[in-house]
Amino acid sequence: MTSSIETTSTETEGSRQASPPAPPTPATPPAALAELPPLTSAPRRLLKHPRLMHYNRLAALVILANIGVLAAASWAPDAETMGYAALGNLALAVVVRQQYVINLFFRLATRAPTSWPLKARWTLGKVYHFGGLHVGGALAGAVWFLAGTVASTLDGANRPLITVGWTLVALLAVIVATAVPPFRSRFHDHFEKIHRFGGWSALALFWTHTLLGGQGPVALGVLAVVTFSVALPWLRLRKVDVRIERPSAHVALARFDHGVTPFAGSSTAISRSPLTEWHSFANVPSPGEPGFRLTISRAGDWTGSFIDDAPPKVWVKGITTAGVANIETLFSKVIYVATGSGIGPCLPHLLAAEVPSRLVWATRDPRRTYGDDLVDEILAVQPNALVWDTAQHGKPDMVRLAYTAYRDFGAEAVICISNKKLTWQVVHGLERRGIPAYGAIWDS
């Protein structure tokens, strides 16, 4: 495949006259796209259905494990035992979201050599579905705590303990109800605030409930671990300088150099108002250079405001965290499929070149939108990339485009970074045909 970039001499916002046009290179015509292979057998296709993805399987596994423990018990648990079960599950829900734990998950999963069977590495690559453990633990913990509070009430526990217990039940119900996908996707800012402040309040109430109930050192120790896990990212809170470049009105390149050079494929959360709203973006370090960049595209009110009113400083929090593309080392060759600003999370891996890869990037007016410097940087490390200009050639069939690159490059897996709808189209479209494919699952 050849690169389909065509440059433009149009003047862009925030920059002077663009560089002279490079010799145009032809786009791959639709006739060159490979026909998709047949679907796998019905049972295998069923296992690749989004509702049966590993995220949901892990959530179900945690819930079934709790049911199994209850069914295997030869006695009815009392209020204290149910309290311990609730605390253990809720501790699981919190700790698996801790950045160091997430990085550990990725480190362990990606230690498998490429000599292992593809099926095993395909499954290990789903490590980023760990959020299912969070969901399963949260649901099981809430149910256990409700049952324990009912039992305490029927047993005639002291009034302060019952009051705190039912207050916590109500709070957990609100947190769970507002975390369901329809509410979370439609009112994400509200979900984030409820999850943050509700979670802190629930933790304080757990401490109060545990002390009033006179539970032993085990419960106090678990609560201490959970509290430290929650507090740790905020202990790393700081306000740092940022330099903003705007190659166009659609994109901002935020450059940081505050003594931190994160690993390729990690992400950083930034904010202008640290108690109310956070946004994570993929870190783009350049090999051999200090600092890193974030590629921020106009995708809503916050990003639009960030681009139009570029701040001189922003808040950063927590520990740089591994992302979906870090699973690339499980495979001998990979295809990166990106649309628009999805190039941001791909770029650090392309620059690091740790694994042989080929880029498929569909975007509108790439040079005008992202600037000549960024496009030239991409083509320098990916001279055979297929960069599909949707302004010239329309929107392509991304599944066929991905499969064609996968076949021609002899890759073992495809990693897609795009919007939710297209990511699912590519991942599901390929996996139903027996091809390992990965993409974000929007579980945060």
**Pick the residue with more confidence: 280 or 336?**
336
* In the predicted structure, residue 304 carries a pLDDT above the cut 50: yes
Query: Strand, coil or helix: what is 319?
Result: strand
**Pick the residue with more confidence: 371 or 116?**
116
- The predicted structure's pLDDT at residue 19: 42
Alpha-carbon span 168 to 414, nearest angstrom: 44
- The predicted structure's pLDDT at residue 444: 62
- The predicted structure's pLDDT at residue 287: 74
Banded pLDDT at 317 (limits 50, 70, 90): confident
Digit-coded pLDDT (tens) for 327-382: 999 999 999 999 998 998 999 999 999 999 999 999 999 999 998 988 999 999 99
- The predicted structure's pLDDT at residue 8: 33
**Pick the residue with more confidence: 418 or 28?**
418
Banded pLDDT at 319 (limits 50, 70, 90): confident
* In the predicted structure, residue 1 carries a pLDDT above the cut 80: no
- The predicted structure's pLDDT at residue 432: 93
Domains of the chain in start order, with CATH, are 49-235 (no CATH), 238-322 (2.40.30.10), 328-439 (3.40.50.80)
Mean pLDDT over the full length of the chain: 88
- The predicted structure's pLDDT at residue 22: 46
Alpha-carbon span 441 to 444, nearest angstrom: 9
Digit-coded pLDDT (tens) for 6-62: 333 333 333 333 444 443 444 444 447 888 999 888 888 888 888 889 999 999 999
Digit-coded pLDDT (tens) for 140-174: 999 999 999 999 999 888 999 999 999 999 999 99
- Cα distances from 365 to residues 195, 372, 419, in angstroms, run 39, 11, 18
- What's the rounded mean pLDDT across residues 129-138? 96
State what percent of residues in the chain have pLDDT above 90: 66
**Pick the residue with more confidence: 193 or 216?**
193
* DSSP state at residue 288: T
Burial 238-266 (b: 16+ CB within 10 A, else e): eeeebebbbbbebbbbbebeeeeebebbb
- The predicted structure's pLDDT at residue 186: 87
Alpha-carbon span 235 to 420, nearest angstrom: 32
- The predicted structure's pLDDT at residue 318: 72
pTM above 0.85, yes or no: yes
- The predicted structure's pLDDT at residue 426: 96
- Cα distances from 326 to residues 71, 111, 115, 303, in angstroms, run 39, 11, 18, 25
Alpha-carbon span 189 to 195, nearest angstrom: 10
What values do phi and psi take at 127, rounded to 5?
Answer: -55, -30
Highest mean pLDDT (candidates 284-288, 299-303, 359-363): 359-363
* In the predicted structure, residue 109 carries a pLDDT above the cut 80: yes
- The predicted structure's pLDDT at residue 215: 82
* In the predicted structure, residue 63 carries a pLDDT above the cut 80: yes
| Nearest one of 201, 140, 207 to 176, comparing CA atoms | 140
